[in-house]
Amino acid sequence: MRDLHSLHRLLGSTGLSVSPLGLGTVKLGRDQGVKYPNGFTIPDDQQALQLLGLARELGINLLDTAPAYGTSEQRLGPLLRGQRHDWVIVSKVGEEFDNGLSHFDFSAAHTRRSVERSLKRLETDYIDLVLVHSNGDDLAILQHEAVYDTLAELKQAGLIRGFGFSGKTVEGGLLALERGDCAMVTYNLGEQQERPVLDYAASHAKGVLIKKALASGHVCLDSGVDPVRASFELIFGHPGVASAIVGTINPLHLAHNVAMAAEVIVGTKSGNRGSAQ
């Protein structure tokens, strides 16, 4: 198997069915302050369309974007015209990126304004999942800011289908899952501190998306093992994981990642029937 069409899985109890790999789109909109080992050129519209078309062909239906990803949302709106129902779109609130710098606002007013702006930019009347883009102070955001309650209201109003938290701590991830639908967690060969969040998600039917699955392209091993395979064996070996977000703009890398993920997941399922989901 070289694609993901038959391997979609539920994202916790959101009712959303997602491909085990999602396409991160920061590189469609921003080339400043991006933590990748090599420089890159933002793809033009034709290249972006080809990349999105290849992703669909390979069975990817999950797209990850954010207001902090430069012009990513503005570009995705026109690029996805006529295809909205083919995609599960994840966006964020809380972080803005201007003139090379990030700044954060977790107020109710900003949260509403940000979601309304994302709806316009993405040319849609709903966003499947909106995550809080944490500044690292996870517990303070969840306990003292209005952003999570506001997202719950927006979900109630039908503007978003689910909400959650892209954080940096175990405590933040656990609290985010208690009160929300999904956590986005760093989990890779070099960083596994947030594993308790995956364990909680697996036992409470909550959604988990993995960020930095390949350590933002930095992953490498000296042992002769394919680092992508080793990364996916780690990630998809955990039953709490729904999908891993990979932010490549290289079609060959995308196809390789998909083929490797499919191989690993099918191998995990046949070796451990019933638990890979």
Residue-averaged pLDDT of the chain: 93
- Mean pLDDT (whole number) for 50-61: 98
pLDDT band at residue 37 using 50, 70 and 90 as cut-offs? low
C-alpha count within 13 angstroms, C-beta hemisphere, residue 16: 31
Q: Of 10-24, 43-57, 175-189, 218-232, which gets the smallest average pLDDT?
A: 218-232
> pLDDT by residue (tens digit) across 87-136?
999 999 999 999 889 999 999 999 999 999 999 999 999 999 999 999 99
> pLDDT by residue (tens digit) across 151-179?
999 999 999 999 999 999 999 999 999 99
The DSSP string of 131-145 is EEE--S-HHHHHHH-
Which residue ranges make up each domain of the chain? 9-270
Which two structure tokens, joined as six digits, stand for 26?
């920061």
At 148 the pLDDT is 98
Torsion of CA 59, 80, 240, 250, to 10 degrees: 60
Torsion of CA 80, 180, 137, 159, to 10 degrees: 40
**Annotated active-site positions, please?**
69
Cβ pair 70, 29 in contact under 8 A: yes
At 277 the pLDDT is 39
CA–CA gap between residue 155 and residue 179 (Å, rounded): 13
At 33 the pLDDT is 76
pLDDT band at residue 222 using 50, 70 and 90 as cut-offs? low
The CATH number of 9-270 is: 3.20.20.100
Beta strands in 128-249 (DSSP E): 129-133, 163-166, 182-186, 207-211, 243-246
| Strand, coil or helix: 97 | strand
> pLDDT by residue (tens digit) across 68-79?
999 999 999 999
How far out from the chain centre does Cα 71 lie? 17
